[in-house]
């Protein structure tokens, strides 16, 4: 009887559309000359961010909102780090690379993936 239940579960899993498996965290991918941001459909009070550093240098960055530093992160070249922090305010949270210097990105849930500067 357990085998039938397992078969049903596997079949249901295979038939689940990929769109229902939504991204649950932000993903920031750092390249040598650009940064790509992918957003989840929604964020509650806990922000979960995967920072991937695909550049040739180590990166130091911070998350902040309205002048308040929320979290600092350091990611070595060609590695990644997962970061979580809480933020209950309705103000936007920004990701700013401090070293090497780069422009900031707003972490907005429900937005399409974008790259800064845009790839042409």
Percent residues over pLDDT 70 in the chain? 78
Pick the CATH number of 22-116 from 2.60.40.420, 2.60.40.10, 2.10.109.10, 3.40.50.1360: 2.60.40.420
82-95, pLDDT tens digit by residue?
999 999 888 999 99
Q: What is the pLDDT of residue 117?
A: 84
Q: What is the pLDDT of residue 20?
A: 38
Q: What is the pLDDT of residue 23?
A: 53
Cα(15)–Cα(56) distance, rounded to whole angstroms?
A: 41
Q: What is the pLDDT of residue 68?
A: 95
Please report which confidence band the pLDDT of residue 12 belongs to, taking 50, 70 and 90 as the band edges.
low
Domains of the chain, residue spans = 22-116
User: Residue 72 contacts by C-beta under 8 Å, 6 or more apart in sequence?
Assistant: 60, 61, 62, 63
At 31, give phi and psi (nearest 5°).
-110, 175
17-66, pLDDT tens digit by residue?
443 334 589 999 999 999 999 999 887 788 999 999 999 999 999 999 99
Q: What is the pLDDT of residue 119?
A: 54
Q: What is the pLDDT of residue 16?
A: 53
Q: What is the pLDDT of residue 3?
A: 60
Q: Could you tell me which of 13, 4, 14, 41 has the C-alpha nearest to residue 26? A: 41
30 three-class SS: strand
């Amino acid at each position: 009887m357990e085998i039938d239940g397992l078969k049903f579960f596997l079949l249901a899993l295979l038939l689940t559309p990929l769109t229902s498996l939504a991204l649950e965290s932000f993903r920031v991918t750092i390249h040598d000359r650009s940064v790509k941001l992918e957003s989840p459909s929604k964020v509650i009070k806990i922000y979960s961010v995967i920072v991937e550093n695909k550049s040739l240098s180590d990166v130091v960055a911070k998350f902040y909102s309205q002048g308040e530093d929320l979290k600092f992160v350091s990611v070595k070249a060609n590695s990644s780090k997962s970061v979580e922090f809480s933020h209950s305010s309705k103000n936007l949270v920004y990701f700013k690379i401090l070293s090497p210097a780069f422009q900031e990105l707003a972490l907005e849930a429900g937005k399409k993936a974008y790259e800064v500067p845009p790839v042409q």
